[in-house]
């Protein structure tokens, strides 16, 4: 975990900011001390719950996938996300057949105990992922880079994987997910390091 001081605020850089993790509690501790923290605890909580993330993004003018919260019904083809306590936006599934959808739903709902979120897509839609570092991307299309900048302005996540749906040349936000340092390309690692080299404290 890294703490980056910048303009009277503290930026916490880490692979994940999930609730009840060390970075999350570090953010809370800083906020309790009156320190402006990036990301904030509320931004972190909003970012990793898909329906909340998409609604917050939509209100900020970011193009997002249409989503539905359901207990059993799904219209295929679709992207399915779990909403239980242990779910993560990284674990999404694209389903194209009803039998496949039933198996996936059974798993993500723990046999019907929890609701799930699905996003209807077209047959020719493609899912693409883009890593954002302080709102900057490498080797991404212009529209994806633009969405990345907007996502950073809204959620302030220094390191995040942005999952998007491409449909007829247009891109729509599907979810935000944690990023492991090992996922970064060499160029992305260099970009992150250059941003950290300004003024940073490293905590094991």
Same domain, 51 and 134: yes
Q: Which of 85, 100, 120 is the last residue of a domain?
A: 120
Same domain, 184 and 140: yes
Q: Would you list the DSSP string of 39-61?
A: S-HHHHHHHTSHHHHHHHHHHTT
Same domain, 129 and 190: yes
pLDDT digits (tens, 9 = 90+) for 38-52: 999 999 999 999 999
Q: How far apart are CA 5 and CA 10, in angstroms?
A: 5
b/e per residue, 145-154, with b = 16+ CB within 10 A?
bebbebbbeb
Q: How far apart are CA 127 and CA 115, in angstroms?
A: 23
What is the Cα 22 distance to its own chain's centre?
Answer: 18
Same domain, 131 and 191: yes
Which CATH number does the domain housing residue 26 bear? 3.30.470
Q: Give the chain's domain count.
A: 2
Strand partners, 4: 11, 200
Domain assignment present for 202: no
Helix, strand or coil for residue 190? helix
Q: Is residue 22 scored above 50 in pLDDT?
A: yes
Q: What angle do CA 155, 54, 132 make, to 5 degrees?
A: 45
Nearest alpha carbon to residue 67 among 131, 190, 163: 163
Domain assignment present for 14: yes
The pLDDT value recorded for residue 13 is 95
Same domain, 35 and 135: yes
Global pTM reads 0.92
The pLDDT value recorded for residue 139 is 85
User: C-alpha distances in angstroms, 91 versus 87, 151, 164?
Assistant: 7, 20, 14
Q: Which domain holds residue 72?
A: 67-120
Same domain, 100 and 182: no
pLDDT digits (tens, 9 = 90+) for 109-163: 998 899 999 999 999 999 999 999 999 999 889 999 999 999 999 999 999 999 9
Same domain, 47 and 76: no
Same domain, 7 and 55: yes
């Amino acid at each position: 975990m890294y703490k980056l001081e910048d303009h009277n605020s503290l930026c916490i850089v880490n692979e994940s900011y999930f609730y009840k993790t060390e970075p999350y509690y570090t953010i809370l501790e800083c906020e309790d001390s009156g320190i402006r923290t990036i990301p904030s605890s509320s931004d972190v909580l909003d970012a990793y719950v898909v329906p909340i993330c998409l609604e917050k993004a939509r209100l900020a003018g970011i193009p997002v996938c249409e989503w539905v919260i359901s207990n059993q019904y799904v219209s295929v083809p679709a992207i399915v996300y779990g909403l239980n306590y242990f779910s993560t936006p990284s674990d999404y599934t694209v389903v194209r057949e009803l039998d496949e959808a039933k198996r996936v739903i059974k798993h993500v709902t723990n046999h019907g105990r929890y609701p799930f979120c699905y996003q209807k897509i077209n047959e020719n839609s493609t899912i693409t992922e883009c890593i954002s570092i302080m709102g900057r991307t490498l080797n991404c299309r212009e529209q994806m880079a633009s969405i990345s900048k907007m996502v950073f302005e809204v959620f302030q996540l220094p390191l995040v994987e942005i999952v998007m749906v491409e449909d007829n040349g247009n891109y729509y936000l599907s979810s935000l997910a944690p990023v492991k340092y090992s996922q970064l390309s060499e160029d992305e690692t260099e970009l992150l390091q250059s941003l950290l080299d300004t003024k940073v404290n490293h905590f094991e």
